Amino acid sequence: MIYEVLKAGDPVLKKISAPVEKIDRRIRRLLDDMHATMLLYNGIGLAAPQIGKNIRAVVIELDEKRYDLINPKILKREGKVIDTEGCLSVPDLFGEVERSEKVEVEFLDRYGKHRKIWTEGLLARCVQHELDHLDGQLFIDIAQSVHRGEEK
């Protein structure tokens, strides 16, 4: 099913989300629905709070590779880079956000397998953006500047 994406101002987006306790068919169905919702709205990442569920689950799809991140946690960071970000929960606004250039993230995959990957570039930015959602933070809360449209 396709979910409605909550918009900035909704209190659900400001909450700290709870860890996923059990990885089963229900959570896999939710991840699939999040993925379908994300693709429909042309996003590259979506966090569960954005569809009204305060649990620590994220989907990302970049370069035709899909990532399902359950209970993700950043272990290491390297470098700093500023770039433009947008968000399905903040329509029409873009911002310049400083992020770590590379991050190592550990998580459980959709079958509960423990995984650890190094990410960089847009994937690293996306991971950091989505993990912020799990802690109730939007990019507009930390952006150096915010503007309408993708051009600065």
Contact residues toward Zn ion (CB under 5 A) are 87
Q: Compute the least distance from the CB of residue 88 to Zn ion, in Å.
A: 6
Q: Do residues 120 and 139 touch, judged by C-beta distance below 8 A?
A: no
Nearer to Zn ion, 6 or 81 (CB): 6
Count how many residues are written for the chain.
152
Question: Measured at CB, which residue is nearest to Zn ion?
Answer: 87
Q: Compute the least distance from the CB of residue 43 to Zn ion, in Å.
A: 8
Q: Do residues 118 and 101 touch, judged by C-beta distance below 8 A?
A: no
Nearer to Zn ion, 60 or 87 (CB): 87
Which two three-digit tokens encode residue 45? 């990442």
Q: Compute the least distance from the CB of residue 89 to Zn ion, in Å.
A: 5
Nearer to Zn ion, 82 or 112 (CB): 82
d(CA 91, CA 93): 6
* DSSP run (H or E) holding 81: strand 65-85
Q: Compute the least distance from the CB of residue 130 to Zn ion, in Å.
A: 7
Nearer to Zn ion, 27 or 143 (CB): 143
- Let me know if 130 is a catalytic residue: yes
Which residues are CB-contacts of 14 (< 8 A; sequence separation ≥ 6)?
136
CA 37, 39, 41, 43 torsion: positive or negative?
Answer: positive
- Using DSSP's 3-state secondary structure scheme, residue 66 falls into strand
Q: Catalytic one among 104, 130, 150, 151?
A: 130
Task: Cite the active site residues.
Answer: 130
